[in-house]
Amino acid sequence: MTDVSLTDSAAFVARYGRPPEVVASAPGRVNLIGDHTDYNGGLVLPTALPRRTRVLLARNVDGLVRATSGQVPGAMSYRLGEEARARRWLDYVQGVTQVLLQDRFPIGGFDLHVESDVPVGSGLSSSAALEVSLLRGLRELYGLRLDDTALAMLAHRAETGLVGAPVGVMDQLVCSHGDERSALFIDTRSLALRRVPLPDTLALVVIYSGVDHDLTGGEYGVRRAECEQAAALLGVPLLRDVAEDDPRIATLPGALPQRVRHVLSENARVLAAIEALEARDLPRLGALFDASHRSLRDDYAVSTPEIDLLVELAREHGAVYGARLTGGGFGGSIVIATTPQDAERVALAVARAYASAVRYAPSVVVPRLRDFESRP
């Protein structure tokens, strides 16, 4: 079996009494730059993580979806076609089967076991990884005619529909199309995709703050509503269509000018980051990371004290080109640009300093480290 360990398979057999018919997986993601632009028709530049969500599947004959997870104790089930939001991880599974049934794909009941090392609540797309891996598994199990982009769009509908998270389409597209060797440039309006190779002189360090972020929470939805309000007042369908020097931006009420300024400047930073990667200009990339974080913190107001502390601790390290909040914000993770030879040293230094300051040991997601507190 590919992408699945003997332990995962044994867990499926222990729960369901037979081996899985299909195994599939999808990666988490880290966004290099381009946050809160995707639901504004904008530009994003994520890459896939080495951490993945794996699903094991087998058909059943009773019309039920039975689900277990190696990360959450207990078993859950529902009848296919009777999906209902329950505010549990099963909602992501229900969202997937609901959209497949809505589009009349021929699926039946199935047994499911999920294993994942993508940290939940970390802002690294654990939800999209689950949706995409499940859709990949069901595509194989039932012979569904779905290309990778169509699959990503179904996953996006599952999350915005039954799950109720008002997200853009970036996460599902990169979990479906992305790889670890390149960034994926996505125009979220046209859905045009282009791979941008990551220089071998660049290493990414991803550190989870321990502050969970929840895209179904109120503040994320508030930001999206603010953007929609600003677009309506400016007479455009999406903020992507506004010129950065439009004088009307300054006349918008409340915090809307700052929200618009972030979206437009972040789109420009995505294009500049592609140029920096292609030129192997890592100091320039790092400066763009820093500018993006300031914009997310000051103009978009989605950072937290813990995230800001992690970013500042990273910037104090001489081997760091730049650091920023990554993902939707309100907690989650940061991404640091450094060199391959310095990545582990940077990760250890930042994690230890953060743990000392907040009395919480953060998760170093990339590179993989074991028990950093015990290292010299």
Helix (H) or strand (E) holding 22: strand 22-33
Rounded (5°) CA angle 116-117-121: 90
Residue 29's φ and ψ, nearest 5 degrees, are -140, 155
In the residue annotation, 212 being an active-site residue is answered as no
Q: Cα torsion at 5, 32, 93, 86 (round to 10°)?
A: 130
Residue with tokens 């640091």: 336
CA distance 42 to 34: 8
For the chain, the distance separating the N- and C-terminal CA atoms, rounded to the nearest angstrom, is: 39
| HEC profile of 245-309 | CCHHHHHCCCCHHHHHHHHHHHHHHHHHHHHHHHCCCHHHHHHHHHHHHHHHHHCCCCCCHHHHH
Burial of residue 196 (number of CB atoms within 10 Å: 0-12, 13-18, 19+): middle
Active-site pick, 111, 171, 290, 299 = 171
CA distance 75 to 105: 26
CA distance 307 to 311: 6
CA–CA distance from 141 to each of 28, 47, 122, 314 (Å)?
Answer: 22, 27, 30, 45
Q: Annotated catalytic sites, by residue?
A: 171
